[in-house]
Structure 1
């Protein structure tokens, strides 16, 4: 009986944690092909972004890409987050670069399109995740 009660408490606790997670619809645009996967690194501060230590990482197969667009759904808690994308075409889980450190694969940021060749700050692409209507667009850039 005590074991069943403990399991019930555990399930209720997990349910409460999950209840705070919000749906986030992410539209990834301008993918050049459907090979490999996209990696979405979730950052919650400038410090975690600068250290390249994401709070969470999500990986999605690109096989459902249609006309350069892939739509995915995430679950995130309410709060402020920034999403950095890697178009990992060869599925090695990293952004490949050439000999002078220029990315060979695509990359992008939540609701921010990189116009310059300068790494954006966290403030450039952070988003507020609310109770509803969490839609984010990421345009992929290739150099």
Structure 2
């Protein structure tokens, strides 16, 4: 066997050993735990929606991967999304003070209830894009914190 062939086989074997953990990780399922703070009161509920792509983020209910709402009992709330495939996700959260499952808005379109997004991007004159809020879930447990904003 030639020296070049031996080197090529060693390199291929090494690459195969590197690829195996990556392939195993790609089929791995994990949890995303979201701690939500900054609530101005304990009225109503907090609803969190998780998106697996930019399509529909952050407000198209038909594109939500999963939505969870929980009654507020303290100034901080925790919601966990389970059994997620490895990948990027973005979370949109609202403080639904009147339990109508909608972000209520003023006559000129400003949110009247608290809201927030994963990665806590700065909000200027538009909602963040998926890439600005994306979080990588690649392990058994990923924890993030979202701080609500009120206008």
Alignment TM-score, normalising by the size of structure 1: 0.77
What is the number of equivalent residue pairs in this alignment? 122
Match of residue 110, structure 2, among 96, 102, 117: 102
Q: Post-superposition shift, 1:50?
A: 6.1
Large movers: runs of 4+ above 3 Å: none
SS in 2 for 1:39: strand
SS in 1 for 2:79: strand
Structure 1: distance between partners of 2:131 and 2:89: 10
Structure 1 unmatched runs, 5+: 1-19
CA RMSD of the aligned region, Å? 1.9
Alignment TM-score, normalising by the size of structure 2: 0.73
Further displaced range: 72-81 or 130-139? 72-81
Contact 1:76–1:129 under 8 Å retained in 2 = no
Are positions 1:62 and 2:72 aligned together?
Answer: yes
Contact 1:108–1:114 under 8 Å retained in 2 = no
1:142–1:75 Cα change, 3 Å: same
Further displaced range: 116-125 or 83-92? 116-125
Contact 2:50–2:91 under 8 Å retained in 1 = yes
1:21–1:91 Cα change, 3 Å: farther
